[in-house]
Chains A and B, each alone.
Chain A
Amino acid sequence: MKNRVLVAEDLYLLRDGLVHLLQAHGFMVVAAVESGPELLKGLVELRPDVSIVDVRLPPTFTDEGLKAALAAREKVPGLPILVLSQHVEQLYARELLADGSGGIGYLLKDRVFNAEQFVDAVRRVAEGGTAMDPEVIAKLLASNARDEPLAALTPREREVLEAMAEGRSNAAISQRLYLSESAVAKHTASIFAKLGLAPSDDDNRRVLAVLAYLNSR
C-alpha cells in the first residue's frame, strides 16, 4: 500500500494537524519539512508515495512550494504531489497539469476540514490520479462559459463534468450525484462525444483529457 507521505507546511499548528490526521488514517509520515529547499531535497531523496505541499513557504514566502514541486516532478516524472493553498489560481493548476502525467492534486486548505474527503483525495493522488479543487474547476468552466461545445451540455452533464474534472471515479460520481453507475457512464460517454474527445475507460486518463480540454481553451 502506498502510504509513505511527506508534509511541507511552515505553520507549526497546521503541520502538526496534518501529520496527526494522516497518521490517524494509516499513513506513515516520512518527513515534515517547513521550507522550500528542505522540501525539494526531501522530495528527490525520499521519493515519498505522496507529498502534501503548501504553496507559500519560507524563505521567500512566495510560491516556493509550488516551484519545488514542479522542479521535483521534472527530476522524478509523475512524483505524486498534492498542493495546498489559501487561494486557488487557474495559472498554478495549469502549471501543475502541464506535464500531463497525473499524480497531481491542487486543493484549498479549507478542504482539510472534511477529513474523509481530504484523505480520499490524498489516496487518489498517491495512486497517480488527480484531485482538483471544485473552485478551480468552477473557474475553468466560468472562463470557458462562451465556449460552444460546453454550452451544449445539459445541466446534469455539466455536474458530471465538474465532478469528473475534480478527479473522481465513476463510482464516486454516482455516489455524489445519487445516480446509478451506468447512468454516470452514459453521461460521460455523451460528454466525451459532445466535446469531441476520444473515450477512455481509464479514470485517470479520462480526467487528464477533460482538464487538458478545458485548459486548452
Chain B
Amino acid sequence: MLRSFGRILVLLALLVLEVPAIPLTGLMLLLTFGLGMVFLFPWQVMMVRRLAELNRRLMRRWTDIEIEPPYLPEPPPPVPQSDGMYRSDRTLYKTPRIPAWNNRWKWLLSDPGSWRDLLWLVLDVVVKPLLVPLFVVLPARGLRLYAQWSELLLGATTASRLAGQVSHLKRTRNLANDSQAAEMRRIERDLHDGTQARLVAIGMTLGAVEELVDRDPTAAKALLAKVRDASSETLTELRRVIRGIHPPVLAERGLADAIRALAMDSPMDVTVDVDLPHRPDAPVEAAVYFAISELLSNAARHGNARKVTVDISANGPHLRISVTDDGMGGADPSKGTGLTGIERRLAAFDGVLALNSPPGGPTTVTMEMPRVLPEHWAADVQKMPRWKTVAVVMLWATAWCPTMPQGVVAGVFKLLGAEQKSWFLALYLPEIWQWPTILGMITVGLIMHVLAIRIPAAHNRERLLAGKPAAKVLC
C-alpha cells in the first residue's frame, strides 16, 4: 500500500519534467517546420522518446504490464556504391555523413511511434491529475489503470512488430545467403584445386600410355598402375568433399544414425541419445549434423575432453540439442570461428546457441531451433481401432431417430393433440405409456449423441495422457 503511494508520488513528480517538455517540444517543432531548423527535430524526438521509455520501464517494474517499444528498427549505415560514393535519392556524396543523417531524419519522421509518443505526452499531463482520486482510494488499481493507459499509446502496434520481424528476417536471410555463398566457394575451390587437377593429370598420363603402349609395353604398364593409384586418390578426395557438402550417412540413415556414425569415428567416448519420432526436414538435419560435428571436434581439439554426451530431443515443435563434454572448459566464442559458424548456420532457422563453459569444465552447449518440426509430432496421430470407428459411425447414423421423430416431434404432436399418428411409436401406445416413451426416446437419443462425441474425444485424451510415442533410441 505504502509502496504504491510512493510509486504514485514518483509518477506525479514526473509531471515536473513532462509539463515543461510540452512547450519545449512545440517550440522545437515550430522552429523545425516553420523556420527550417531541421537539426532540432532529432533532438526533439529523442527527448520525447526518453520520457516515454522512462515510463515504459517504470510500468514494467511496477506492474505486470510489459510495454514493448513500438519504434521501427534504425536504418542501417549507408553502403558506398562501387565507385566509392554514397547515394541518397538522386544526389551523390563523398562521405556517408549526409546520407546517414537523411536516413535518420526520414526514419524519425515516418515512424508513427514518434507521433504517438508526442500524443501520449500531451494527454498524459491531463490523465495523471484525472486519476488522482482513484490513486488515493485504490492505489494498486490506479497504477494498473495508468499502465493500461500508457500501453495504449506507448505499446507496440502490429505494424511495428511486423517491421521488427521483417528486419530480423532480412538479417538472418543475409547471414544464410552469406554462409551459403562461402560454402559454395569452398566447394568450388576443393573441386577445382583437387579433383579437377587430378583428373587432368590422369587424362595426360593416359595420353602418354597410348603413345607408349606399342613401343614400350612395360613402361606403359607402370604408367597405368600410376593412373590407377591417381584415380583412387581422386575418389578419396571426392569423398572428403562430398562429406563436407552432405554426408552420405545422413542421406541414407537420417540424423540419429549419422550422429551415431560421427560418435563412432570420434576418439572420445561419445554417448548419443536421440529422441525424435520422425526424421526432421533435410536442411534442419544437415544444420544439426554440422553443428554437432563442429562441437565434437572442438571438444577433442581444444577442450581435451574424454567423454561427450549428445542429446537431441523434440520439445513440441521445437528441436533441442545439447552437447556436454568433460573437457577443461573456458571456451570463448569470440576466439575462433567455430561457434560463430554454428550460430550462423542455426540463424537461418531462428535457432539460438547457449554456451556454458566455466574454466575447468564441464562445457555444455545447448542449441534450440524453434518450430522446425511439424506440430503433429507432439502427439503422433494414432488411428482409432476399427470397432470404435464403426460404433461412432453407427451412433451418428442412428441417433437422430430416437431424438427427433420418435422423441421431440412425437412430443410436439402429442402436445398439439394432433390426429395424425404417422410412424411415431409412442402415439400408438396406451395413454399412460405415451409420455414416458417420448421422454425415454429423447434420453436414449441424447445418450447416443453424447457417446458419439465422447468416444473420439476420450481416445484423443488417452493418447495425450500416454505422452509422446516412445521412439526413444539409445546408443
Contacts and interface: CB of A to CB of B under 8 A. Distances in A.
Real complex partners, A and B? yes
A142 B265 contact: yes
B365 interface: no
Nearest to B236: A110
A145 interface: yes
A194 interface: no
Contact of A91 (B228, B242, B264, B266): B264
Contacts of A63: 252-253
Given A110-B235, A113-B228, A62 B251 contact: yes
Interface string A131-168: 00000000100111110000000000000000000000
A94 B265 CA distance: 12
Given A86-B239, A110-B232, A91 B267 contact: no
A114 interface: yes
B253 A62 contact: yes
Contacts of A62: 251-253
Interface string A24-59: 000000000000000000000000000000011000
A200 interface: no
B257 interface: yes
Nearest to B248: A87
B261 interface: yes
Contact of B265 (A56, A86, A90, A114): A90
A152 B282 CA distance: 43
Contacts of A87: 239, 242-243, 248-249
B313 interface: no
A89 to B, nearest CB: 5
B239 A90 contact: no
Contacts of B306: 146
A91 B266 CA distance: 12
A142 B249 contact: no
A133 to B, nearest CB: 12
Given A110-B232, A113-B228, A114-B228, A143 B253 contact: no
A80 B468 CA distance: 41
B128 to A, nearest CB: 69
A53 to B, nearest CB: 14
A143 B252 contact: no
Interface residues of A, number: 21
B260 interface: yes
A146 B267 contact: yes
Interface string B232-259: 1001100100110000110111000100
B231 interface: yes
Interface in B256-300: 257, 260-261, 264-267
A113 B231 contact: yes
Contacts of A89: 249, 261, 264
Contacts of A56: 248, 252
B232 A90 contact: no
B232 A91 contact: no
A146 B306 CA distance: 9
A175 B267 CA distance: 31
B434 to A, nearest CB: 68
A142 B251 contact: no
Contacts of B260: 91
B268 to A, nearest CB: 8
A79 B410 CA distance: 76
Nearest to B249: A89
Contacts of A143: 264-267
Interface in B190-247: 228, 231-232, 235-236, 239, 242-243
A139 to B, nearest CB: 6
Given A108-B235, A113-B232, 13 more contacts: A62-B252, A62-B253, A86-B235, A89-B249, A89-B264, A90-B265, A110-B231, A110-B236, A114-B228, A139-B264, A139-B265, A143-B265, A146-B267
Interface of A: 55-56, 62-63, 86-87, 89-91, 94, 108-110, 113-114, 139, 142-146
